[in-house]
Amino acid sequence: MKCPNCGSEMPEGALYCEHCGKDIHIVPDFEPELEENMARAMGRPYDDGTEGEKDPQEKDSRERDPQKSNLQKKESRGKGKRRRFLWVSIGVCLVGLLVAGVAAGIFLYRYHSYEYQLAEAVKYFTKEEYKKSIDRYKRALEIDDQDLEVNFALAEAYSRMGNKVEYEYLLRNIIRNPKCSQDQLERAYGKLITIYRERGEYDTINEILHYSENEAIQKAYQEYLVTPPEFSYEPGYYEEVVPLKLYANAPGRIYYTLDGTDPDENSQLYASPFLFTESVQIKAIFINDYGVASEIVTGEYFINVNLDMDEGGWDEEQDGE
């Protein structure tokens, strides 16, 4: 053993140098296991002096393989890009959902808005896009069917498309509606009668006029309205000559029979009043200038102009007969 100060030889275990007199401090050999056990006994973390150092093999591997190190860096950058892409995608999806929600809200509002559907129908009608106009008018009526003017507009759109079936159907619905005003009733009847007159369907005109029971409408189209002939005397018992006249409500002809058979256009034509002096049954029918026939009307007249009354009673001689 040598003195660390002067280098002189010293005996083993000496505490100072006999040559230079320097004290000798002996440092025991480091024993990791003993140090670790002491640290754990005292409740302190054990540090062997290698913390923070990388695996030498890993370090050597990086130094020996720079291509692998660059690949690891690229992978790290790729992960960062993927994370950014993920967040961007999420943001785009959220914006898309927001836009879709707003669009859906606008669609639902418009779909359930009577005013919007009606305005769109008028717009398309003006542009002569009648199919789109019809769809909008129908949707408006699904929302609120109280406005008959919308039915008129829808009927007109069908007419412009040449669909006379739907046109007629809507007009018939209007005249059947109890809320139809007089003006609307007259307009609807006018359009319907124009349709049937062009087709020569005078029976149909007579039918819808009878359905109306509206005096103003019937008077306006009286020439198409067919009613049975009217008798100037009510059927019944008479003790005098009955000068019977037959009347019709419109231009045409009255045919009659006196033998109990049903009259038609081949029967006797009425031209002047009858003078009935005895009991008779008369049947009559009216046919207007458009060939539409009325119902047959029947009148029975029981007449006895030879009866003599005696103080309110029958004459015995006549009664015996």
CA-nearest of 156, 211, 222 to 185 is 211
**What is the model's pTM?**
0.61
Encode the chain in three state secondary structure: CECCCCCCECCCCCCECCCCCCECCCCCCCCHHHHHHHHHHCCCCCCCCCCCCCCHHHHHHHHHCHHHHHHHHHHHHHHHHHHHHHHHHHHHHHHHHHHHHHHHHHHHHHHCCHHHHHHHHHHHHHCCCHHHHHHHHHHHHHHCCCCHHHHHHHHHHHHHCCCHHHHHHHHHHHHHCCCCCHHHHHHHHHHHHHHHHHHCCHHHHHHHHHHHCCHHHHHHCHHHCCCCCEECCCCEEECCCEEECEECCCCEEEEEECCCCCCCCCCEECCCCEEECEEEEEEEEEEECCCCECCCEEEEEEEECCCCEECCEECHHHHHC
Residue 122 within any structural domain of the chain? yes
- As given in the structure block, the two tokens for residue 69 are 């190190």
- 16 within some domain: yes
Q: Does residue 55 fall inside a structural domain?
A: no
* Containing structural domain, residue 17: 1-37
Is 220 in the same domain as 261?
Answer: no
Check whether residue 146 and residue 162 sit in a common domain: yes
CB 230, CB 245: distance < 8 Å: no
Does residue 57 belong to any structural domain of this protein?
A: no
CATH number reported for the structural domain that contains residue 254 in this entry: 2.60.40
What is the number of structural domains in the chain? 3
Name residue 281's beta-bridge partners: 300
Instruction: Calculate the dihedral angle through the C-alpha atoms of 315, 318, 320, 321, rounding to the nearest 10 degrees.
Output: -170
Q: Examine residue 67 and state whether it is found in any structural domain, yes or no.
A: no
Would 109 be classed as within a structural domain? Answer: no
Task: Quote the CA–CA distance of 19 and 9 in Å, as a whole number.
Answer: 9
Give the pLDDT of residue 321. 39
| pLDDT for 162 | 93
Looking at 224, 242, 262, the residue that finishes a domain is 224
Cβ-count burial 160-171 (b if 16+ within 10 Å, e if not): eeeeeeebbebb
From 224, 258, 283, give the residue that closes a domain. 224
Quick one: pLDDT at residue 104? 78
In this structure, the answer to whether residues 132 and 164 fall within a common structural domain is yes
- Do residues 204 and 251 share a domain? no
Residues 212 and 119 placed together within one structural domain of the fold: yes
Q: What is the pLDDT along the chain (321 residues), one digit of tens a residue?
A: 677 777 777 777 676 677 777 766 555 554 556 566 666 666 665 555 555 455 555 555 555 566 666 666 666 777 777 788 888 888 888 888 778 787 778 767 777 799 999 999 999 999 999 999 999 999 999 999 889 999 999 999 999 999 999 999 999 999 999 999 999 999 999 999 999 999 999 999 999 999 988 999 999 999 999 999 999 999 999 999 999 999 999 999 999 999 999 999 999 999 999 999 999 999 999 999 999 999 999 999 999 987 454 444 444 444 443
Do 123 and 213 share a domain, yes or no? yes
Q: Which two tokens stand for residue 271?
A: 């031209």
In angstroms, rounded to a whole number, what is the distance separating the alpha carbons of residues 116 and 143? Answer: 11
pLDDT number for residue 258: 96
Boundary of a domain, candidates 224, 255, 270:
224
User: Same structural domain for residues 148 and 204?
Assistant: yes
Based on the fold, state whether residues 212 and 284 are members of the same structural domain: no
203 and 141 in a common domain: yes
- My answer on whether 160 and 136 are in the same domain is yes
Residues 235 and 266 in one domain: yes
Q: Kindly state whether residue 22 falls inside one of the protein's structural domains.
A: yes
Same domain, 123 and 193: yes
CATH code at position 151 = 1.25.40.10
101, part of any domain: no
